[in-house]
Amino acid sequence: MSEANQNIPFNTPANTAQVRTVDVVVIGGGIAGKACALGLAQMGLQTIEVAPDLSSPIPSPAGPHWGQRIYAFSPSTQKLLAHLQIWDALDHSRLQAVRDMRIFGDRGEQTDQLHLSTFEAGTPQLAWIGESNLIEHTLDQAIRFQNKLDQIADTVENLQTDADGVTLYLKNHLPIRALLVVAADGANSPTRMSIGITASEESYSQSAVVANWSCSNPHLETAYQWFLPGGDIVAMLPLPNKQVSMVWSTSPENATTLLNFTQEDWNQKFALIAGGAVTNQLGKLSLNSAPAAFPLRKIRAARFIGPEHNPKVVLIGDAAHVMHPLAGQGLNLGLRDVATLLNILGKRESFRSPNNLVLLRRYERQRQGDTSALLWVTDRLKKLFSGSSNTERQLRNFGLGFVNRSHFIKRRLIERALGDIDFE
Ligand SMILES: Cc1cc2nc3c(=O)[nH]c(=O)nc-3n(C[C@H](O)[C@H](O)[C@H](O)COP(=O)(O)OP(=O)(O)OC[C@H]3O[C@@H](n4cnc5c(N)ncnc54)[C@H](O)[C@@H]3O)c2cc1C
């Protein structure tokens, strides 16, 4: 029996035979929402996940060329997926371990370089690169076998909180009562807005152009990133089968131009940028996916639980924070939200219901430091490398070399990139 049925008298007007009552509703069908819903159900909480895109199952990625949405997965993400029994079920031939990261400044000088390696990190890999679909498909498979979890393909149109829980009104289904709602409904989170949580938002006036390439030189399991004069950033992330995934952050105008490039245009571009370093490193690059562009912005919710007077809703993933992709950490941070929430609810005292205020405050407190630090670092780096003054140019390039020589700072940087979560 669910805790909602056991402990909480849902004596609100909405409590008719028509209303379904569960412990938790997760709003959102992205990776953060699916991982959270699965984890909650695995700990015995009766859970419903609601999102419009749950109607179409994610197909298993297949074929020689990798899908368009590629992510860097940090060791903290690996730990969460292992905890959810997902990691070993993934098709590992479609994941590439990253053993080295090389980041280059925009003066073209050899010393303006930051090199992070597994040797310094003391781990077998710094990250893994793989397709979003690979994770989503495997999560879907596990969810199908989880009898404490139902998925509803619909949109949440409205929700009302009261002293006992939340009533959710869906577009095409009957209302649901839940003790707790987890909002994983993305950067524009309608839930965040409807419970009155404000968010600071800043556009970077940049778009990220993503595409996959086959490269004629081995990528040496290395993730490369070049900061270019003018503020563009080009990352080339290694994939299996001599492929790389590009994330090129640039002005929206240039993104439109890049989207219309022919292979010949790309050849000329790669030969020119970063003094030809991209082709020197990776050889001839042949396009093997249709390029796509994503607008880039920074968002931070003012609170991670709400509404303020009576919190019954928790924000996770992009609903709570969005950052520049230069560090490849947005989803990893969102999955650390999931890990923290699962830890707190999993270890709660038996007298505390899942929506107990002490637990929700604990969650908010624990997520603040990690979120603020990552948002700050990515934002500062982005802005430092966009500045056009001579001082800024000297500072950022000197900074890369300086960090590279400082074992202490490097160690902290690696710790931040690896992330840290523990399941007890
Ligand atoms: C170019 C680029 C590269 C990136 N690279 C990386 C990387 O390498 N590593 C990394 O960690 N991160 C990366 N990120 C960040 C990453 O893409 C996001 O952080 C991640 O996708 C957010 O996942 P999410 O589940 O929180 O939200 P989303 O994936 O946005 O999911 C939101 C869900 O909510 C649903 N929804 C919305 N409204 C409603 C409603 N009213 N009712 C019900 N459901 C609703 C939507 O349908 C959707 O299912 C990158 C981002 C960009 C732009």
Q: Which atom of ligand 1 is nearest to the CA of 155?
A: 42
Ligand 1 midpoint to CA 136 (Å):
12
Instruction: Name which residue leads in pLDDT, 52 or 113.
Output: 52
Helix or strand (DSSP H, E) at 373: helix 357-384
Provide the whole-model pTM. 0.94
Ligand 1 midpoint to CA 304 (Å):
17
Q: What is the mean pLDDT of residues 254-263?
A: 97
Does the structure show a pLDDT above 50 at 63? yes
Ligand 1 midpoint to CA 187 (Å):
7
CA separation for the pair 108, 83 (Å, rounded):
43
Q: To the nearest whole percent, how much of the chain has pLDDT over 70?
A: 96
Going by pLDDT thresholds of 50, 70 and 90, the confidence category of residue 407 is confident
Ligand 1 midpoint to CA 298 (Å):
13
Query: What fold characterizes domain 3-60+135-200+297-384?
Result: FAD/NAD(P)-binding domain (3.50.50)
Q: What is the mean pLDDT of residues 37-66?
A: 95
| Amino acid 49: pLDDT | 98
Q: Over the chain, what is the mean pLDDT?
A: 92
| Amino acid 165: pLDDT | 97
CA-closest residue to ligand 1 atom 16? 331
Task: Give Cα 51 to chain centroid, integer Å.
Answer: 18
Does the structure show a pLDDT above 50 at 11? no
Instruction: Name which residue leads in pLDDT, 8 or 358.
Output: 358
CA angle centred on 249, ends 245 and 255, rounded to 5°:
95
Going by pLDDT thresholds of 50, 70 and 90, the confidence category of residue 125 is very high
* Per-residue DSSP letter, 58: P
Beta strand residue intervals within 251-390, DSSP E: 285-287, 292-301, 305-306, 313-315, 321-322
Ligand 1 midpoint to CA 339 (Å):
17
Ligand 1 midpoint to CA 186 (Å):
5
Q: Which atom of ligand 1 is nearest to the CA of 31?
A: 25
| Amino acid 136: pLDDT | 97
Lowest mean pLDDT among 7-16, 245-254, 379-388: 7-16
| Amino acid 13: pLDDT | 45
Of 3.40.50.11740, 3.20.20.100, 3.40.50.300, 3.30.9.10, which CATH number belongs to 96-130+204-296+389-418? 3.30.9.10
Domain residue ranges in the chain: 3-60+135-200+297-384, 96-130+204-296+389-418
CA-closest residue to ligand 1 atom 29? 30
Does the structure show a pLDDT above 90 at 316? yes
Q: What is the mean pLDDT of residues 211-231?
A: 96
> How large is the greatest C-alpha to C-alpha distance in the chain, in angstroms?
71
Does the structure show a pLDDT above 80 at 7? no
Does the structure show a pLDDT above 80 at 3? no
If one residue of 25, 71, 128, 169 were mutated to test the ligand 1 pocket, choosing by the most ligand atoms within 8 A of its CB, it would be: 71
Helix 31-42 to helix 330-346 angle, to the nearest 10 degrees?
Answer: 20
CA-closest residue to ligand 1 atom 31? 30
For residue 234, the one-letter residue type is: V
CA angle centred on 114, ends 113 and 119, rounded to 5°:
135
Beta strand residue intervals within 217-291, DSSP E: 222-227, 233-239, 243-250, 285-287
Does the structure show a pLDDT above 70 at 240? yes
Burial category of 7 from C-beta neighbours within 10 Å (exposed 0-12, middle 13-18, buried 19 and up) = middle
Q: What is the mean pLDDT of residues 371-399?
A: 86
| Amino acid 4: pLDDT | 57
| Amino acid 2: pLDDT | 58
Does the structure show a pLDDT above 90 at 418? no
Q: Report the pocket of ligand 1 as residue ranges, CB < 6 Å.
A: 27-33, 50-53, 71-72, 155-156, 184-186, 190, 208, 210, 247, 294, 317-318, 325, 328-332, 334
Ligand 1 midpoint to CA 400 (Å):
30
Q: To the nearest whole percent, how much of the chain has pLDDT over 90?
A: 79
Ligand 1 midpoint to CA 184 (Å):
8
Q: Which atom of ligand 1 is nearest to the CA of 319?
A: 26
CA-closest residue to ligand 1 atom 52? 325
pLDDT digits 0-9 by tens, 149-189? 999 999 999 999 999 999 999 999 999 999 999 999 999 99
Does the structure show a pLDDT above 50 at 192? yes
Does the structure show a pLDDT above 80 at 5? no
| Amino acid 1: pLDDT | 46
